[in-house]
């Protein structure tokens, strides 16, 4: 797969990152201690960790690392535009600030030398399994992994349905596209 290089001049992505950082700086203490949002963040983190450990035990990261070594990662330019300031805010709340190590040629903006620098991922990223990974997993493992991914996305959705009205009441949301 040919590599495209994300441009640091892209005003849209830079502005989205700035907005997410501003939201985090203004609201992190309230959100991290909110009676409903804090437990949902914990539950989401646990589901993300479960997906990661299940993927690890099935050998998916090893396949992807081999891909990266050959320069043919499936992360590609443009995916970063799927991430709005609200999903990036959730990443901040989970300790991922969207900063990758800059010395590496990137495809998606969030792709660094050790893979994706985000924790809370868009369904677009989570649901993709290439043919090689599907073959390596086999049907049963692939179905099991999709179930874990589905549970993670459900936790993301449950968090957002509480977080977004909270931000709205704080006057911090525009319409989500
Ligand atoms: S999902 Fe497949 S194509 Fe994408 S990085 Fe992993 S092994 Fe490579
Ligand atoms: S997994 Fe991360 S690096 Fe890859 S396309 Fe998605 S956001 Fe970008």
Q: How confident is the model at residue 23 (pLDDT cuts 50, 70, 90)?
A: very high
Q: How confident is the model at residue 173 (pLDDT cuts 50, 70, 90)?
A: low
**What is the average pLDDT across 100-127?**
81
| Cα separation, 43 vs 50, whole angstroms | 11
State if residue 13 touches ligand 2 by the CB under 6 angstroms criterion.
no
Is residue 124 within 8 Å of 116, Cβ to Cβ? Answer: no
| Cα separation, 60 vs 85, whole angstroms | 28
State if residue 86 touches ligand 2 by the CB under 6 angstroms criterion.
no
For residue 170, pLDDT over 80 is answered with yes
List the one residue out of 36, 124, 120 whose CA is nearest residue 78: 124
Q: Residue 132 contacts by C-beta under 8 Å, 6 or more apart in sequence?
A: 63
Highest mean predicted confidence (pLDDT) among 15-19, 110-114, 173-177 = 15-19
Distance 66 CA to ligand 1 centre (A): 8
List the one residue out of 130, 134, 100, 95 whose CA is nearest residue 115: 100
**What is the average pLDDT across 15-35?**
96
Rounded to two decimals, what is the model's pTM? 0.88
Q: Which residue, by CA, sits nearest to atom 4 of ligand 1?
A: 74
**What is the average pLDDT across 22-35?**
97
């Amino acid at each position: 797969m040919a590599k495209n290089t994300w441009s640091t001049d892209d005003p849209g992505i830079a502005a989205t990152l700035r907005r997410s950082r501003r939201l985090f700086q203004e609201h992190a203490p309230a959100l991290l201690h909110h009676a409903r949002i804090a437990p949902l963040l914990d539950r989401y983190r646990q589901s993300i960790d479960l997906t990661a450990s299940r993927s690890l035990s099935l050998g998916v990261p090893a396949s992807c690392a081999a891909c990266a070594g050959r320069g043919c990662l499936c992360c590609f330019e443009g995916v970063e535009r799927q991430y709005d300031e609200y999903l990036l805010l959730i990443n901040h709340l989970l300790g991922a600030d969207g900063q990758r190590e800059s010395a590496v040629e990137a495809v998606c903006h969030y792709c660094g030398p050790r893979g994706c620098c985000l924790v809370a991922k868009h369904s677009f990223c989570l649901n993709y399994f290439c043919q090689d990974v599907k073959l390596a997993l086999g049907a049963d493992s692939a179905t099991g992994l999709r179930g874990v991914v589905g549970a993670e996305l459900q936790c993301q959705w449950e968090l957002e349905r509480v977080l977004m009205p909270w931000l709205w009441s704080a006057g911090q949301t525009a319409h989500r596209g």
